[in-house]
Structure 1
Amino acid sequence: MLSRCDRRSDLWRGEAIHSLAVIGGFAGEPRVAQALMRMYGRCKKVSRARRVFEEMARPRGKYLWSSLIRAYANRDRAQLAALVHEMNSWNKRLEDEDYANILDLCGKLRALQEGQDVHAHIHLNRLERNRVPGIKLTQMYGKCGRPDEARRAFAEILSKEIIAWTSVVEAHAKNSQHKTARELFLKMKLVPIFPDEGAYLAVLRACVGPAALKEGKAIHAAIVRSALEKRPSVAAALINMYAKCESLADSSACFAKVVFDRIPEKDVVSWNALLAGYAQNGHFGRAKEVFETMPGRRLSSWNAILAASSEEGGLVLAKSVFESMPEWNLVSTTAMLTAYAQNKHLDQAKFMFDRMPEKNIVSWTAMVSGYAQNGSLGLAKSLFDVMPERNLVSWTAMLAAFAQSKRYDKAKALFDSMPDRNAISWNVMLNVYSCSGMLGEAKSLFSAMEESNLISWNLMLAAYSENGDLDQAKGLFERMPMVADGFDPDEVGVMNILSGCSHAGDVATGHSFFVSMIRDYELKPSKQHYSCVIDLLGRAGYLGDAREVIANMPYAPEARDWSCLLGACRNHKQAVIGVSAAMNVLKLNPARSSSYELLAGVVT
């Protein structure tokens, strides 16, 4: 009878049966207690399930533990912590399925500490090599932002099947270690283990940016050979992949559209994938066209076009879409709140926040970020202090608010008190040290980082360059491909080196790195790279070379390029090139009075 009580409306019936069991003296029977705990769990009464568990005489069997763990499904972190503490005090082996359930809960709640405690319990019972605990540990660490620990858990698994490989690929892909995820996918194929739908979905998530487009196309070809391309989830993932590569440039847009057109029965997921792909990459016109063509719009479709409208047309367009929506949910109102805050309408943002019928951690964090981005640090901190719960995003938003307001002491104090950190929070603090000239602290923090990404390395490069330590910057840059996990230097890293060379007057090193970015890393120099080279040559007195770079670079020269050269000519007393530079500045910007002052300094 207890098995039929599976909804809150059935709770009264379950409680009546419980009372009869107590009166009859058999409520303490293991099988009865197990059934009662399952009933209370299904009826969302976890505290009652726990009371049944605690009233059982010790030692409690593993099956009672199974029932308690199931009852805790979807509970909050405090209750999870209590469960893990109780489990550790019992100190006996559970069933693999029980470890799986509790690790799933740790991953869902991003409860890293509790997950590590469960890992310790598994280690104590020498179960890491078992298939189920090993896979679930890999997945839990991935969800908690610890891809390196996920990799170590994966390495312990004795028999690595497709689901184990998929879990470790996904753990790295979710945490932006895209190159490593793709490399693991290739290693899996060499075992050989043939990818299934889940493995393809995981690796497609790791195909991000122009450098990954070639691999993404190869994976697409393999999917076609496997006859999986027309499955809705795979097709949507392919569309997303092309959207994330080359910022959905025309070539990638074409591939995404081809994938979409091949889907025999397009569901809302497929339509939303194409819509989001266009919207997230600045193709609002195409996104709007897809939205208007969709045979059936769901609320998720409206939310996607609302977010795109906010980015494209600002507040007016976002309000128009919002008011046209047939219904709203928490995602809709949070998106509109964000649009108000981004456009400096904090009163309207707060008005919407206060009148939300329900709030979640995302809406709370959006309001905190809105205050912070508009310079209302006190209001941001006051709201942060009264949040009913916080996650890593909330903590990091407040940390960034202190950093943006140059309250470096407050940022450091908050960083030290954070219950958990990820690459973003570490990077914010690294930037704090860099901006405040604390190079030693920045170096120590960088060395101690539990996880880093390309941004971390670029921030450290910038710290060295801006503080005049060019040798350290050069050494760090050259170590990146060997030490950094899954990424090579990018355009930002080269820019940091060039900037450091410019301030140090090191033309030879600057020239070497500029050539290397093209030859060794196949990076296309941007206009900013050329401007930095012009500044480097001008500062060092290579004025003719600087003029040649301006004349021959694949970008139209701007007034600031010629002004840079003009300033260098004044410093080095080079009248001929200086006059030519001044004429070009005045041609592009006749109203620039400072050019006349620079020219006077050149010819006098």
Structure 2
Amino acid sequence: MDRRECLALMRSCTSLPAAQAIHTRARAHFSVRDVFAWNKLIEMYGRCGSASSAREIFDSLPLKDSYSWDFMLAAYSRNALFDDAARFFPIMPQWSLVSYTTAMIANAQLRHFADAQRIFHSMPEWDLVSSTAMLGELAQIGLLDDAVEIFRAMLERDIQAWSVFLFAFAHHGNLSDAARIFAGMPERNLISCTAMLVAIAEVGSARLVEEARDLFRSLPERDIASSTAMIRVYAQSGHLDEARRLFESIPLHTIVLNTAMLAAFAQSGDIARARLVFDQMPERNLISSNALLSGYAQNGHCDKAKELFDSMQEWSSVSWNTIITAYIQSSQLRSATKVFAAMPEKNIVAWNAMIAANAKSGHLEEASFLFRNAPEWNTVSWNTILTAFAQNRCLREAMETFERIPEKSSISWTAMLSAYAQNGHLDRARLFFDRMPSPCIGSWNAMLASYTNSGCSSDAFSLFDSMKILETPDETSWIIALLASCYAGDVGIGQSLFVSMVADFGTPAKRIHFGCVINLLGRAGHADAARDLIANMPFEPDLLQWRCFLETCKKQKNPRYSAGAAKQILGLNALDGSVYVSLASVVQSSQPVSVLPLVYLERVEKEVSRLWLWRTRRGCGASGNRMAPPAPPAAALRRNSRSRAGQRACDRGQQRRSAKSPEEGQEIGKRARISGTPVLESELGKEE
């Protein structure tokens, strides 16, 4: 075998055993000064997965040229030895465009983005490969403005550069810019179309499903990446059945595709199907395990999440963060603290989660201790501890923290605004709001809520009018404005707000908006109008609407509507004993019990007494506090009502005896029989 045959074998070699055999046979044919042939050996070992063998040859060479260094650097990078590549690059005698690009990619993979950008900007010139690589790195860290500058500075752009640039905006959910880039591409391929599908999936808008479906169907060919992106589009927009049909139509299910479908089921709350996909996967990796673990955590299955976590062969930072979140969401702070203490490497996400959990549980000292001992702070860390001080009415600490924040975000300003408002300093809160550099929608809502919660409805309405000029109100804004009209008891303003929300701003009225109007009508004494709105709104009333209506009837002492609301609440939640107590209170304070059907009165008495006995056994009063239990209210009501009915009977008998004529006595008896007609029979008689 001569030198030419050896070089041909090295170029075509793809396995390490074959590379070792070629090396053994070719050693005799290469002279010490044949640097080209030895460089090819270094390249072959790097391609076949043995950077250590490549380094042995590199160190043994008495003569090295620039290609020797480039091939050795590429061997480290190709085998994911990015630390070795980052250490090797500075000792190179000279750098080529290839070595610059390789070192830049290695630092990016190590998430040393500052070093990667420094290497890129120190290059004597940029070619298509290096510029495209830098675009990918900037896309990964979200520096989209820098990516735009580099893309504009590129002298030439191929389809790969366009696709990477498109992915930069698609990955971060910037759909409008992604759509403009996609429309301006001179040509498109499967990668660019997949990037557009990813952008739509990140937004998760149901109105874009048709557009994504048309784009997917127009593809001349489809691969796993495009199918996975389309499944994500369906899942994020709530079209789970279509996602499942597409998944089942694909003959070959890879681990990526299975994980996408698993995540779709988990995000929609269908944990049983998510687990079924997980169990049927021929192979699993850390990403698929984390997807199911996240599904358990998001849907409140803490025990199953812990069971899965314990069965995993390896854990990433995502795994640890997810199980901590699962414990926090199930109010198991002590267990979350134990897991946090056991984490081998605590990242900033875990620190922030524990700070927020302790603050939410009222453990402000523990939250402050964790914040002080965190190895680093980001914007989320500062905002978390600032919000904790604000919610616990520690105004001085909140002010000191706000002044220390290096980069104040809109969340920081909003949290400080809330701190002033929650401590009763509405004037200072408004001054603070007025000097905000660029108030976001959350800041407007916070100031609006501060006025509403303090009963300053006129100030809330004035601020909301200004907001409609400078900012587009969101759903929360309209809810707060409607609540302000409720507290003010101004039906006219509330009705005009509701109409303007739908007609002028195009915000669809949701169940909670209707609930605010129902509450407004009830507070203003318009029980009939509230009842009509409940009957005619485009949603099935839920517990919240019926409870509001029952409280309205309770205040107005309206037993007929109270009974109807009670029936609906008990149909949705049969164990709600507070309904019986409220209804008994209405009847006791208005109509005599003799006008109620006896069977319904017995039902009230039975249910209230049952709840009283249950709380008595637990040692609780009617409110749930541990105290001596009161007398059963239904029984007390019945005794009181019987005495009232007996007194009325005596009064009527006396009136009949004192009648001046038999005709007058008969008329008194007739009126008594009419007044005794059961007024609730229309509401409850049919059911009973």
Q: TM-score, normalized by length of structure 1?
A: 0.68
CA RMSD of aligned residues (A): 4.8
Do the aligned residues in 1 keep the contact of 2:563 with 2:583 (CA within 8 Å)? no
The residue matched to 2:143 in structure 1 has which SS? helix
Give CA-to-partner distance per residue, 1:495-542, whole Å, 9 cap, x none: 122123333444344323323444456655333212211232344555
Choose which of 143, 146, 160 in structure 2 pairs with 1:141.
Answer: 143
Query: Does residue 491 of the first structure (1) align with residue 491 of the second (2)?
Result: no
In the alignment, the residues of structure 2 paired with residue 168 and residue 43 of structure 1 have an alpha-carbon distance, to the nearest angstrom, of 24
In the alignment, the residues of structure 1 paired with residue 551 and residue 155 of structure 2 have an alpha-carbon distance, to the nearest angstrom, of 62
Seen in structure 2, the aligned counterparts of structure 1 residues 380 and 169 have a Cα distance that, compared at 3 Å, is: farther
Q: CA deviation at 1:275?
A: 1.0
Seen in structure 2, the aligned counterparts of structure 1 residues 584 and 326 have a Cα distance that, compared at 3 Å, is: same
Q: CA deviation at 1:561?
A: 2.0
In the alignment, the residues of structure 2 paired with residue 225 and residue 567 of structure 1 have an alpha-carbon distance, to the nearest angstrom, of 61
Do the aligned residues in 1 keep the contact of 2:452 with 2:484 (CA within 8 Å)? yes
Q: Which residue of 1 aligns with 2:228?
A: 236
Give CA-to-partner distance per residue, 1:88-137, whole Å, 9 cap, x none: 8x8x96535666666765665x4xxxxxxxxxxxxxxxxxxxxxxxxxxx
Query: Does residue 527 of the first structure (1) align with residue 511 of the second (2)?
Result: yes
Query: Does residue 298 of the first structure (1) align with residue 285 of the second (2)?
Result: yes
551-560 or 2-11, larger mean C-alpha shift: 2-11
In the alignment, the residues of structure 2 paired with residue 64 and residue 189 of structure 1 have an alpha-carbon distance, to the nearest angstrom, of 32
Do the aligned residues in 2 keep the contact of 1:368 with 1:397 (CA within 8 Å)? yes
Count of residue pairs brought into register by the alignment: 523
The residue matched to 1:266 in structure 2 has which SS? coil
Seen in structure 2, the aligned counterparts of structure 1 residues 282 and 474 have a Cα distance that, compared at 3 Å, is: farther
Seen in structure 2, the aligned counterparts of structure 1 residues 260 and 534 have a Cα distance that, compared at 3 Å, is: same
Letter in 2 for 1:213: A
Do the aligned residues in 2 keep the contact of 1:585 with 1:595 (CA within 8 Å)? no
Give CA-to-partner distance per residue, 1:459-509, whole Å, 9 cap, x none: 46545655533133134235545xxxxxxx543332122123333444344
Letter in 1 for 2:462: D
502-511 or 40-49, larger mean C-alpha shift: 40-49
Give CA-to-partner distance per residue, 1:210-251, whole Å, 9 cap, x none: 9932322222122211234x4211111111111111xx3xxx
Q: Which residue of 2 aligns with 1:351?
A: 338
Please give the residue correspondences for 1:371-450 in structure 2 after superposition, counting only pairs within 5 Å: 371-420=358-407, 428=415, 431-432=418-419, 435=422, 437=426, 438-445=429-436, 447-448=437-438
In the alignment, the residues of structure 1 paired with residue 490 and residue 587 of structure 2 have an alpha-carbon distance, to the nearest angstrom, of 28
Q: CA deviation at 1:308?
A: 2.0
The residue matched to 1:555 in structure 2 has which SS? coil
Do the aligned residues in 1 keep the contact of 2:136 with 2:168 (CA within 8 Å)? no
Give CA-to-partner distance per residue, 1:26-63, whole Å, 9 cap, x none: 9xx9999989998999673588668658x99xxx9999
Query: Does residue 217 of the first structure (1) align with residue 210 of the second (2)?
Result: yes
Letter in 1 for 2:197: L
Do the aligned residues in 1 keep the contact of 2:169 with 2:178 (CA within 8 Å)? no
Q: Which runs of no fewer than 5 residues in structure 1 stay unpaired? A: 111-139, 482-488, 570-574
Letter in 1 for 2:230: L
Letter in 2 for 1:440: L
In the alignment, the residues of structure 1 paired with residue 483 and residue 186 of structure 2 have an alpha-carbon distance, to the nearest angstrom, of 47
Choose which of 28, 44, 51 in structure 1 pairs with 2:83.
Answer: 44
Please give the residue correspondences for 1:545-556 in structure 2 after superposition, counting only pairs within 5 Å: 545-553=529-537, 554-556=539-541
In the alignment, the residues of structure 1 paired with residue 224 and residue 311 of structure 2 have an alpha-carbon distance, to the nearest angstrom, of 29
Choose which of 276, 291, 299 in structure 1 pairs with 2:263.
Answer: 276
Do the aligned residues in 2 keep the contact of 1:582 with 1:599 (CA within 8 Å)? no
Q: Which residue of 1 aligns with 2:580?
A: 590
Q: Which runs of no fewer than 5 residues in structure 2 stay unpaired? A: 1-37, 570-578, 592-688
Letter in 2 for 1:560: R
Do the aligned residues in 2 keep the contact of 1:535 with 1:564 (CA within 8 Å)? no
Q: Which residue of 2 aligns with 1:510?
A: 494
Larger Rg: 2
Letter in 2 for 1:374: S
Q: TM-score, normalized by length of structure 2?
A: 0.61
Q: CA deviation at 1:255?
A: 1.2
Do the aligned residues in 2 keep the contact of 1:268 with 1:296 (CA within 8 Å)? yes
In the alignment, the residues of structure 2 paired with residue 285 and residue 169 of structure 1 have an alpha-carbon distance, to the nearest angstrom, of 36
Query: Does residue 80 of the first structure (1) align with residue 91 of the second (2)?
Result: no
In the alignment, the residues of structure 1 paired with residue 161 and residue 435 of structure 2 have an alpha-carbon distance, to the nearest angstrom, of 35
Please give the residue correspondences for 1:83-94 in structure 2 after superposition, counting only pairs within 5 Å: 84=118, 94=125
Do the aligned residues in 2 keep the contact of 1:38 with 1:71 (CA within 8 Å)? no
Q: Which residue of 2 aligns with 1:127?
A: none
In the alignment, the residues of structure 2 paired with residue 198 and residue 33 of structure 1 have an alpha-carbon distance, to the nearest angstrom, of 33
Q: Which residue of 1 aligns with 2:321?
A: 334
In the alignment, the residues of structure 2 paired with residue 164 and residue 352 of structure 1 have an alpha-carbon distance, to the nearest angstrom, of 43
Q: CA deviation at 1:167?
A: 6.1
The residue matched to 1:320 in structure 2 has which SS? helix
Do the aligned residues in 2 keep the contact of 1:340 with 1:349 (CA within 8 Å)? yes
Letter in 2 for 1:533: V
Q: CA deviation at 1:313?
A: 4.8
Q: Which residue of 2 aligns with 1:126?
A: none
Seen in structure 2, the aligned counterparts of structure 1 residues 71 and 192 have a Cα distance that, compared at 3 Å, is: closer
In the alignment, the residues of structure 2 paired with residue 393 and residue 205 of structure 1 have an alpha-carbon distance, to the nearest angstrom, of 26
The residue matched to 2:301 in structure 1 has which SS? helix
The residue matched to 1:591 in structure 2 has which SS? helix
Q: Which has the higher contact order (CA 8 A, sep 6+)?
A: 1
Letter in 2 for 1:590: Y
